[in-house]
Amino acid sequence: MGWTYVTLILSHCILLYSISLVKIRWLCFVTGLCTLATFKCEPFLSWEAGFVEGDFELRHVLFYGGCGFTIMRCMSFALENCEKKDGNYNILELLKYNFYLPFFYFGPIMTFDKFYVQVNRSDLTRKDGELWNISLHGLIHLGVVIVVDVLFHFMYILTIPTDMKLLKHLSDWALVGLAYFNLVYDWVKAAVMFGVINTVAKLDHMDPPKPPKCITMLYMFAETHFDRGIHEWLCKYVYDYLGGKHDNVLEELVATLCTYGITILWLGPCEVVLFWAFFNCFGLNFELWTTKFFSMEPFVSFEMAMSDATSRRIRAVFNTFNFWCIVLYNTVALNSLDFSKLVAKRLLLKGFPITTILVMFVTYCLIQAIKERERKQALIDDPDPLPPAPPLNAAAAPPAASATTTPGAQLVAEPNKEKAE
């Protein structure tokens, strides 16, 4: 990339480090976002792109990746420096954080507080079999890279959605499956890329962000992401910071608008990105509105009277429609608005009732299986506490006292329905 490119990156690091010394949070945000905007608009874009030496195929990818992730890392450093009570972090810590090579060009972004703790950790011993697991994951990712490359050349998952004449001749099931596999293919690419990077980082005793959650298991807008690093960055500094406990409709609206506003700037403002952001922002807020509505009477009493399985089945019905909204909304960004409209028309209008009912039923069964798996995993990770042992003189206690203590013990022993969901 050349030394002039390194100089450009260093200038951004020095700028944001200088601003972080003031320890004014909003000023760090404004400076970082304005700097990020210079890579998205002319004439700044052409001027800064001229700092890259050479002409090769990945020139633009490495330029945008290195500069974009640099700004996000510098903003994380500046915001963490604002939270530091005594003194400031050293600029060498920023350079070490930004220029860590495995994360530099393609991420994932690890927030500075986590990076600082892991880099300065004194205990570097490995668990038994850890190197074997790292080597095994490396071989698995190498095999998946080959499979993805073969699929990219011999299966036209990405090119078919661009031919609208061909799409009109496809069956409803083929069109719906094509939309779904477009998201799966994009998830596999992200999972493989971050998996390879994470494998290299683990050799340095790092604990990097995990690859994105599988698209098949996403039935809530609040969990939808294709880059866990950016997702955690936005949640920590924007979404959770502004949204609080996410139980207030107005605060949630402000938090989601700001979050997707920064995401639009990160991806680059254009018509497709604006549509994608609008639909996903609406979906995220609509989830909260629905939750608030069904948390009122008489719905709460109805659900408390149900068994856990019945409640989970009813929730799965709503999650089924949520799942296909996530698929349709994200095909806007991955393919085009016309392709998403065609899939929605076939799935909900022209394919009704046979295709619609069958697709929704299969999706419902899938979500039921996912929710059951998540329920069992939640009970394993956080088992319900056992009721306290009765005192020795419990037999001598009067009946009235025993009657008052029984409901409390029963509540402790019952599974936590909210946790399981």
pLDDT digits (tens, 9 = 90+) for 323-351: 999 899 888 888 888 888 999 999 888 88
> CA triplet 47, 51, 53: central angle to 5 degrees?
135
pLDDT digits (tens, 9 = 90+) for 198-254: 888 888 888 888 888 888 888 888 777 778 888 889 999 999 888 888 778 888 899
Q: Whole-angstrom distance between the N-terminal and C-terminal Cα of the chain?
A: 49
The confidence score (pLDDT) of residue 364 equals 92
Of the two residues 40 and 346, the one the predictor is more confident about is 346
**Tokens, residue 227:** 């880059």
Model confidence band, residue 390 (pLDDT cutoffs 50, 70, 90): low
> CA triplet 314, 316, 319: central angle to 5 degrees?
125
Decide: 212 and 228 in contact? Cβ < 8 Å. yes
Query: Over 60: is that where the pLDDT of 389 sits?
Result: no
Q: Closest by alpha carbon to 79, among 116, 124, 111, 47?
A: 111
Residues whose CB is less than 8 angstroms from the CB of residue 326 and which lie 6 or more positions away in sequence, other chains included: 218, 219, 221, 224, 283
Average pLDDT over all residues of the chain:
81
Decide: 31 and 16 in contact? Cβ < 8 Å. yes
Q: Closest by alpha carbon to 129, among 121, 137, 117?
A: 137
The confidence score (pLDDT) of residue 65 equals 74
Query: Over 50: is that where the pLDDT of 397 sits?
Result: no
The confidence score (pLDDT) of residue 257 equals 92
> CA triplet 133, 139, 141: central angle to 5 degrees?
100
Query: Over 70: is that where the pLDDT of 373 sits?
Result: yes
Query: Over 50: is that where the pLDDT of 411 sits?
Result: no
Burial label for 253, CB within 10 Å (0-12, 13-18, 19+), is middle
Regarding pTM above 0.85, the answer is: no
